[in-house]
Structure 1
Amino acid sequence: MRFLLTGGGTGGHIYPALTLWHTIETRMPDAEVLYVGTERGLEHGIVPRAGLPFQTIFAAGLRRQVSLQAVKTVWTTYRGYRQAKRLLKKFKPDVVVGTGGYVTLPVVYAAARLGIPSVVWEANARPGLTNVLCSRKSSAVAVCFEDSGRYFPKAKKVVLTGNPRGSEVLHYDRKDLLSAQEAYGLDASKKLILCYGGSRGAETVNQVLVDLIPRFHSKQDWQLLYITGEAHYESVQRQLSAPLPANVAVVPFAYDMPHLLPQAAVVVTRAGGATLAEVCSLGLAAILIPSPYVTANHQEENARRLAQAGAAKMIVENELTPDKLWSELTKVLDSPEGDSLRRAALSKAAPDAVEKLYEVVMAAVTR
């Protein structure tokens, strides 16, 4: 069988697709899998590094307002659609799976035109326009939140699967954890605060962390691994006062996050769908700072679902200060509140998400 995966822009669209690829490899060793993305998205670096065949097409973000830029976007999307049709005719996939991002639209529409079944997977509580449009052409839509189906009124079928990343992060061994400890200079006797802003980093969170780091001199039973995002690393380094506390490490990016996350006493992070799946599957205490710069502010809606269930703490970005973040860290790390968060997060886990998504994909092929 041949599977074509597509999705891009951010890690939240890419890594779940890679998790599905690993499952396909396990279930069907002879299957052929191709990933389609863009040259500008993070998938251009991540997917080839993972060892999956990769090709690119044109794609651009949809705009609701009429403008010259909107016209350019339509033209770019149409060019991508034509490229996708040629690619699909050549590769001849049995099914297309789209995990979101601009590139999904031209590929799913081209598949529909050619009579190839497709499945659209949505990570967030409130979907973006791209997946809503794709749902009209796909065989099924897979979602991660129970009530997300209401946003897909024209979908043929909506199935609750959860996020495949929640399955992937559960597979690690002690050797991997020890390697990560050595690589980042971690002390297993100290409470690890893992701070990261997603695959592209988070400028506002970075500024607050820069101001907060000197306080770690007084908290020797804590340690901070601070992942700035590659785009912000040099700027952060210029702002940091030297010398850093001995219990603080600052790095631009971490490719081995699945080996770091299980060791965290608390994570400070954004609220993308993949991140929340990892938090719940591992039963992590989390302080979520949803990005206000995403479409329809969907990260805040994601975070609010967990916060209302007592499964995470949430600080909206315009209320984020060093004092506020330090106070929340103290509550999580130095009181029973952290254990309560961990239990509630674990109750929201979907550890079999990738298996469910695989079943939806295979059902689309059969149908």
Structure 2
Amino acid sequence: MSNYKFIISGGGTGGHIYPAIAIADELKREFPKAEFLFVGAQDKMEMEKVPQAGYAIEGLWIAGLQRKLTAKNLMFPVKLISSLLRAKKIIRKFKPDVAIGTGGFASGPLLQMAESAGVPCVLQEQNSYPGITNKLLAKRAKVICVAYDGLDRFFPASKIIKTGNPVRKDLLEIEGKRSEAIEFFDLDATKKTLLVLGGSLGASRVNKLIEKELSFFQEQDVQVLWQCGKLYEETYMKYNSEKGIKVLPFIKEMNLAYTAADVIISRAGASSVSELCIVGKPVVFIPSPNVAEDHQTKNALAVTKKEAAVMIKEVDLDATFENEFKKIVTDAQYQHQLATNIKKLALPNATKSIVVEIKKLLN
């Protein structure tokens, strides 16, 4: 039998959505006749991104609890009950063989109802510190696929499989394409390139840092390829006309951007960290402090404790950034050490490994 049915839930951020889509794509390669249904949160980005990837999606009326006491929290019980009933109806109608959750609000009700209906469940946890949804779902899951060591603090050790996080397949094939990448972004082949990433929407503090340090980068003879984010396009695109600075609201051709880079500044979301391990370039992580459980700092620390990257907290940027960056671009041995060590952490076959675990659950 190969016409299996897979129901997948993950969303709210790209870090939950893109791994879910990557898993679906790999399952589709394995089982071309399989049926797929995604379940997301209404009004979240998965309702747009999943159909763009060619998959059907149903929306639940669900949102997370706010950290502060707000009127929105008063609606949470109503939304949760509504989502549980809707998820139950979806499960009953679709009759999936396996349910897969990659985190986010909607995966809670969906996997809870799937497990109650006797459907085997797989969790995929991207971060070194799990979100509340996956922690609550752990006892219901058959298998929990993780990307970091030490997750037995949160999940039953018998269920954990270290697979890594799914990444885009084109990142596995960036070797030997530097000339193409330099030409694509109209960069100077004789200069080192700094790639700046703050996520698709952008990161305010990272952007302010880069703006402040533009003359410093010129002094170091470093050109800048700067993804400022869609929210900050109007603020920073004015620098695009300056020599040695390329500003883009969003970079679609990330494989070429990574290829062109000699040094990378990035947030420390789970997907970004996994990609950067595969890319194998010197990285400065600036974790966002505005995320649940401060998980970006924990993700970055999991890499920096292996001497595989540099982490600078936002509060320390003004005091330490220039010294840390200068050390990287002027010390070839240090560059090599960072690049070599981060590459050792890569798990390039993550998606295939996750699919192997899913196949074990099929009757």
Under a length normalisation based on structure 2, what TM-score does the superposition of the two structures give?
0.90
Q: 1:256 to 1:91 in 2, by over 3 A?
A: farther
Does residue 94 of structure 1 match 2:90? Answer: no
> What amino acid does structure 2 have at the position aligned with 1:310?
E
Partner in structure 2 of residue 236 of structure 1: 236
CA distance, structure 2, for counterparts of residue 255 and residue 243 of structure 1? 17
Partner in structure 1 of residue 208 of structure 2: 207
Partner in structure 2 of residue 318 of structure 1: 315
247, 254, 262: which one pairs with 2:244?
Answer: 247
Q: CA-to-partner distance for each residue in 1:95-119, whole Å, 9 max, x for gaps?
A: 1111111111111112122221111
Residue 231 of structure 1: SS of its match in structure 2?
helix
User: Where do 1:200-349 residues align within 5 Å?
Assistant: 200-220=201-221, 222-237=222-237, 244-321=241-318, 324-335=320-331, 336-349=333-346
Q: Higher mean Cα deviation, 180-189 or 273-282?
A: 180-189
Q: CA-to-partner distance for each residue in 1:185-208, whole Å, 9 max, x for gaps?
A: 234443221111123321111111
The size of the alignment, in residue pairs, is 359
User: Where do 1:133-212 residues align within 5 Å?
Assistant: 133-153=136-156, 157-165=159-167, 169-171=171-173, 181-212=182-213
CA distance, structure 1, for counterparts of residue 173 and residue 33 of structure 2? 23
Partner in structure 1 of residue 44 of structure 2: 41
CA distance, structure 2, for counterparts of residue 358 and residue 252 of structure 1? 34
Contact (CA 8 Å) 1:286, 1:313: kept in 2 or not?
A: yes
Q: 1:173 to 1:306 in 2, by over 3 A?
A: closer
CA distance, structure 2, for counterparts of residue 172 and residue 31 of structure 1? 31
Q: CA-to-partner distance for each residue in 1:311-354, whole Å, 9 max, x for gaps?
A: 00000111112x63333222222212111100100111112211
Q: Which runs of 5+ in 1 are unaligned?
A: none
Q: CA-to-partner distance for each residue in 1:134-153, whole Å, 9 max, x for gaps?
A: 11222221111111122124
- Offset at residue 129 of structure 1 (A): 0.7
Contact (CA 8 Å) 1:6, 1:17: kept in 2 or not?
A: yes
Contact (CA 8 Å) 1:214, 1:244: kept in 2 or not?
A: no
- Offset at residue 156 of structure 1 (A): 6.5
Partner in structure 2 of residue 23 of structure 1: 26
The percentage of counterpart residues that share the same residue type is: 32
> What amino acid does structure 1 have at the position aligned with 2:293?
A
- Offset at residue 171 of structure 1 (A): 4.0
Q: 1:150 to 1:243 in 2, by over 3 A?
A: closer
Partner in structure 2 of residue 9 of structure 1: 12
Contact (CA 8 Å) 1:62, 1:74: kept in 2 or not?
A: no
Q: CA-to-partner distance for each residue in 1:201-259, whole Å, 9 max, x for gaps?
A: 21111111111123344344x2211111212222334xx5x674311111111222233
> What amino acid does structure 2 have at the position aligned with 1:353?
A
Contact (CA 8 Å) 1:166, 1:277: kept in 2 or not?
A: no
Contact (CA 8 Å) 1:95, 1:118: kept in 2 or not?
A: yes
Residue 273 of structure 2: SS of its match in structure 1?
helix
Q: Which runs of 5+ in 2 are unaligned?
A: none
CA distance, structure 2, for counterparts of residue 287 and residue 166 of structure 1? 21
> What amino acid does structure 2 have at the position aligned with 1:125?
S
- Offset at residue 182 of structure 1 (A): 4.7
Partner in structure 1 of residue 348 of structure 2: 351
